[in-house]
Structure 1
Amino acid sequence: MRVITEEDKCCGSGLCVIAAPELFDQRDSDGVVVVLDETPGADRHDAVRKAVAACPAAAIRLARQ
């Protein structure tokens, strides 16, 4: 699994960080999503899926590696 973000879509809500703080952060300057681990291990896939589902701007998506 690979995590892909579209910064131009991100509204800075921070719901991804709440859902998976070990995988996502936000830039201090504008709140845009920052991916901390683009290829998380299988033990984190559920957390990534929760973050994707929580994103109100659909700025995060998953791709197969």
Structure 2
Amino acid sequence: MSFEKVEHALHKRRKSRNIGLGAVLIGFVALVFVLTIAKVVDEGDAQRAEQALRINPPKASE
């Protein structure tokens, strides 16, 4: 008895679709990660600027 596994055309298409969907999902996760990192870095710059203003407040011009 030979148990050779024959791959049907439907299985090939489904596997191809699954790989494509996986790539799209990985891309979406990467995009969210990059945007999160950019936001954290931007907030860090804002906090440093705020601290600088507290240390050296702007002089009121009269």
Q: Higher strand proportion, which one?
A: 1
Q: Higher helix proportion, which one?
A: 2
Q: Which has the larger radius of gyration?
A: 2
* TM-score bucket (shorter structure): under 0.3
Q: Structure 1 length as normaliser, TM-score?
A: 0.23
- Point out which structure has higher relative CO (alpha carbons under 8 A, 6+ apart): 1
Q: Structure 2 length as normaliser, TM-score?
A: 0.23
